[in-house]
């Protein structure tokens, strides 16, 4: 799955963006399949906006987001749903944990979406143990801490097949040890699928051997 940007500019940020230079906005960008890609930007400059455009849940932009050379908007709802099940996974900044479900149910919901689940239930337990959330798997989403939610959201994103993983500040609620554990797991899972990722963050970091860096 190829993702490209063609002179993408968010309508609400148009004036601000056109006053400065950016390595993402208002220019052609091709994300190389399989590459580990970091997009760095200060708070409030559009990281979450970009992630929502890449996952096609917001479309208030000029220019285009191209998926396999076709604008997102030209795909049918079924085709988009299929791509979100098989080809592109996401970790939102606001995590989107269903509070009426347990942590494990949040993960299972995604795991069994494919008739042939990509991950076994056993594998979920292994990932939970690696990220130190085994003890909260049966706890209500409502009562999870933000750090626990973030780790559950990471596991949930990793139980499906994907060619691209899109992550919006995925370690923002984690201490150093848990962030490193999560990064290691994400890196392994991407390599196992020969998948790439696009990660947004505020600062420089050395958690991954990034193939590409962009300033938003």
Ligand X SMILES: Nc1ncnc2c1ncn2[C@@H]1O[C@H](COP(=O)(O)OP(=O)(O)OP(=O)(O)O)[C@@H](O)[C@H]1O
By CB under 6 A, name the binding residues for ligand X.
Answer: 12-13, 41, 43-49, 93
Least distance in Å: CB of 201 to ligand X? 9
Least distance in Å: CB of 29 to ligand X? 17
SS3 74: helix
Least distance in Å: CB of 60 to ligand X? 6
96/142 with CB nearer ligand X: 96
139/172 with CB nearer ligand X: 172
Of residues 60, 145, 160, the one with CA closest to residue 97? 145
43/69 with CB nearer ligand X: 43
Least distance in Å: CB of 50 to ligand X? 7
24/182 with CB nearer ligand X: 24
User: Percentages helix, strand, coil for the chain, rounded to the nearest 5?
Assistant: 40, 20, 40
Of residues 206, 201, 213, 196, the one with CA closest to residue 23? 213
Angstrom distance (rounded) from CA 55 to CA 92? 10
With tokens 């420089």, the residue in question is 204
């Amino acid at each position: 799955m190829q993702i490209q940007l063609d002179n993408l500019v968010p309508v609400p940020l148009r004036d601000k963006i056109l006053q400065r230079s950016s390595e993402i906005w208002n220019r052609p960008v091709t994300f190389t399949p399989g590459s580990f890609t970091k997009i760095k930007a200060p708070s409030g400059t559009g990281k979450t906006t970009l992630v929502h455009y890449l996952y096609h849940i917001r479309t208030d932009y000029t220019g285009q987001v191209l998926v396999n050379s076709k604008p997102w908007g030209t795909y049918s709802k079924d085709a988009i749903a299929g791509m979100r099940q098989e080809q592109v996974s996401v970790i939102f900044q606001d995590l989107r944990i269903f509070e009426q479900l347990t942590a494990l149910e949040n993960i299972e919901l995604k795991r069994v979406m494919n008739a042939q689940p990509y991950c076994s239930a056993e594998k979920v337990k292994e990932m939970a143990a690696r990220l130190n959330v085994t003890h909260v798997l049966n706890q209500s989403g409502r009562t999870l801490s933000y750090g626990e939610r973030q780790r559950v959201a990471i596991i949930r994103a990793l139980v499906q097949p994907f060619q691209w993983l899109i992550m919006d500040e995925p370690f923002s609620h984690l201490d150093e040890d848990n962030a490193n554990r999560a990064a290691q797991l994400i890196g392994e899972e991407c390599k196992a699928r020969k998948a790439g990722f696009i990660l947004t963050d505020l600062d420089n970091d050395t958690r991954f051997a990034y193939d590409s860096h962009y300033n938003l």
